[in-house]
């Protein structure tokens, strides 16, 4: 009888040292961007009920949060403002003394080593909760772009290192890039939410940012979860308009799209590990159904393997601690 022929793949799995030696994908602290929700008021650190371990913080609590991140080795944050006052045009989004502008200035002054990403949208600031100007029940595109440019420029003036527009209006990268350039911010990069689906995974975020739509939904401007080619069209437009990074949001249910982005575009790809993905794991872990540490590391590694260079994640502090162990 002839000798049985087969490949011995297990040779490279025999020990932890061997597995580490041939590991293809690595998760690093430098990959992580931590989201922060900044609220008006004093002495506020409110845990978001649907996101255990995530807090809304006031400005007097913000520096301590940033110093903790620096101590953990996390180098980047993305700031979301939660204002007291809202109106139909979201004027607090582009106000010089707006909550997120104050937060940006404070972080850059107190913890200058951190890279500050400013989320550029109107939904937290409008009384209707949509990401643009509303006319007769419709979110109008071009008028919204004007306000988004104002918002981006105000954030850059406050000191934001990166502008991250998340609104999904057509032409938003082109408009913001031109606005930044004309205002003298030619070296401020745009991290575009290029591929942002109308997802059911966003629910807990809307609790944290107080940004739920007061009528209808966002399906008229965010993408249909069933569509792949649409994601390519959206990303291609943003690349042509001058985007410096491409975000895929959500991450976990769209790893195929992330790989498409990585294979097609020579730009840094950013995974947004969104609130629903976070809360599901937290809930399961609190019930003893999963090993939180192991499942979080596996999940974020899958995003890196799928093509993400960076990951926006509420697990950033936890992961930084895991990686230090």
Rounded to an integer, what distance in angstroms lies between the CA atom of residue 128 and that of residue 139? 11
Q: What angle do CA 132, 197, 233 make, to 5 degrees?
A: 90
> What contacts 13, CB < 8 A, 6 or more positions away?
19
Measured from the Cβ of residue 230, the count of other Cβ atoms closer than 10 Å reads 14
User: Are the CB atoms for 172 and 145 separated by under 8 Å?
Assistant: yes
What are the angstrom distances between the C-alpha of 191 and each of 116, 123, 133? 12, 18, 22
Pairing, β 191-196 against β 45-47: unpaired
* Residue whose pair of structure tokens reads 């620096």 in the numeric block: 70
Rounded to an integer, what distance in angstroms lies between the CA atom of residue 247 and that of residue 192? 6
**Token representation of residue 101:** 């502008």
What count of residues does the chain have?
A: 325
Terminal Cα distance for the chain, rounded: 52
Write out the catalytic residue numbers: 196, 249
Element (H, E) at 20: helix 16-21
Q: What does the radius of gyration of the chain's CA atoms come to, in whole angstroms?
A: 21
Pairing, β 245-249 against β 191-196: parallel
Rounded to an integer, what distance in angstroms lies between the CA atom of residue 93 and that of residue 100? 8
> What contacts 118, CB < 8 A, 6 or more positions away?
78, 79, 100, 104, 152, 155, 156, 158, 160, 162, 163, 164
């Amino acid at each position: 009888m002839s000798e049985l022929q087969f490949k011995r793949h297990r040779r490279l799995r025999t020990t932890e040292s061997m597995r580490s030696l041939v590991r293809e994908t690595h998760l690093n602290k430098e990959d992580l961007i931590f989201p922060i929700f900044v609220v008006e008021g004093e002495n506020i650190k409110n845990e978001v009920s649907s996101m255990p371990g995530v807090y809304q913080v006031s400005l007097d609590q913000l520096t301590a949060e940033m110093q903790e991140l620096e101590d953990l080795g996390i180098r980047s944050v993305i700031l979301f403002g939660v204002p007291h006052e809202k109106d139909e045009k979201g004027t607090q989004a582009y106000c010089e003394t707006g909550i997120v502008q104050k937060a940006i200035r404070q972080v850059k002054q107190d913890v200058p080593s951190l890279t500050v990403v400013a989320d550029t949208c109107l939904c937290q600031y409008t009384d209707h909760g949509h990401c643009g100007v509303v006319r007769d029940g419709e979110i109008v595109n071009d008028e919204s772009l004007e306000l988004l440019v104002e918002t981006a420029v105000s954030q850059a003036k406050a000191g934001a290192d990166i502008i991250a527009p998340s609104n999904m209006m057509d032409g938003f990268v082109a408009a913001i890039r031109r606005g930044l350039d004309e205002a003298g911010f030619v070296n401020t990069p745009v991290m575009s939410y290029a591929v942002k689906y109308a997802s059911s995974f966003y629910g807990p975020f809307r609790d944290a940012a107080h940004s739920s739509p007061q009528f209808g939904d966002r399906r008229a401007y965010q993408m249909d979860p069933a569509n792949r080619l649409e994601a390519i069209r959206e990303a291609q437009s943003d690349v042509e308009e001058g985007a410096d990074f491409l975000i895929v949001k959500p991450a976990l249910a769209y790893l195929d799209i992330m790989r498409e982005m990585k294979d097609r575009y020579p730009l840094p790809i950013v995974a947004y590990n969104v609130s629903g993905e976070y809360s599901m794991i937290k809930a399961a872990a609190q019930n003893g159904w999963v090993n939180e540490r192991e499942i979080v590391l596996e999940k974020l590694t899958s995003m890196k393997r799928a093509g993400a260079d960076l990951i926006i994640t509420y697990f950033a502090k936890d992961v930084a601690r895991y990686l230090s162990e």
